[in-house]
Structure 1
Amino acid sequence: MINNHRYIILHKPYGVLSQFTQEFSEHRTLKEFIDVPNVYPVGRLDWDSEGLLLLTSDGKLQHRLCDPRFAHKRTYWVQVERVPDPESIYKLQSGVKIQDYVTRPADVKLLLNDPVVCDRSPPIRFRKSVPTAWLEITLTEGKNRQVRRMTAAVGFPTLRLIRVSIATIQLHGLELGQWRDLDGAELAQLKR
């Protein structure tokens, strides 16, 4: 606890809602993993996405990190169907038209080696005749299901999506379903 607030990071598993309560859903919730009162997710990570989720009781920080004016970076490892060509990578970098808007420019690169990630339950569908590739995508905006819509718009549907960083905070070292408090140095960097 820092300044009477909690700052927690969680390695959210696939199939878990980014909320503590559920009304009419068969999905698991954060309550199964975190028993800390008065903390709330900063932004969201869809139920079918995995990775770094920041939770806090600090409303000011939560607002700052969610406000698009501040354009904080979020990085994802994205497994897509087939191997994107340079033209498709360029489109993702430049901005893609999705519904009624064009995404902001993004940092996008094709990973030459598959990243080391934990197994997903259930695993992604596997098709012998269709290769997959991993992209690293860094965004400064957070529209609903944006990464999935971006990759689909250029013809490479997302099979698996893992958020690996939020601003300066990294997922490294957290096992699936594990959480921890941020330390003072991490929080100072995040607030900068």
Structure 2
Amino acid sequence: LPGVKVVMPSNAYDAKGLIIAAARDDNPVFVVLNKMSLALQAEVPEEMYEVPIGKAHIVREGKDLTILAIGRMVHEAVAAVAPLKELGIDAEVIDVRSIQPFDSDTAIASLRKTHRGLIIHEAVRFGGFGGEIVAQLQEQAFDYLDSPIARVGAPFSPVPFSPALEKVYIPNADSIVAEVRKTLGM
């Protein structure tokens, strides 16, 4: 959508701040809300505040791998930190927050440090917005990378409405660990 900003908060605090920022923005802003992320307990101040559109948030610092996550997948990325640590991988988790504009500066700074990257989102892996983010980062940060940036996304199929099928369809911490193992040849 040319000219439209797109944000996807991972928690209630960011949701409120991004919605207020969107309301005050002179441009159209599409706010994607995930009911499962918003249901998580979080401290949300009563006063007005803004979360800047186009600015990612480093949730956890690490030195071996950059995980770029958006929306609910931020929680899955954080859940993958412990199993990755058992494999000897210290993962940095970045909450992308804003798909358009994308904060490439934060992502590239992290990739310069870790030299490896992975993006996880709920959209389909093929044709999802993660592919565009990966393309941008491969172009802008190629010299800093030791391996291609990996992607984790949903399979190219209809979205199931059964809780049992959703567990198989929606990417999770296990998906992240499996993709990291594949990418690193472990």
TM-score normalised per structure 1: 0.25
Higher strand share: 1
Structure number with bigger Rg: 1
TM-score normalised per structure 2: 0.25
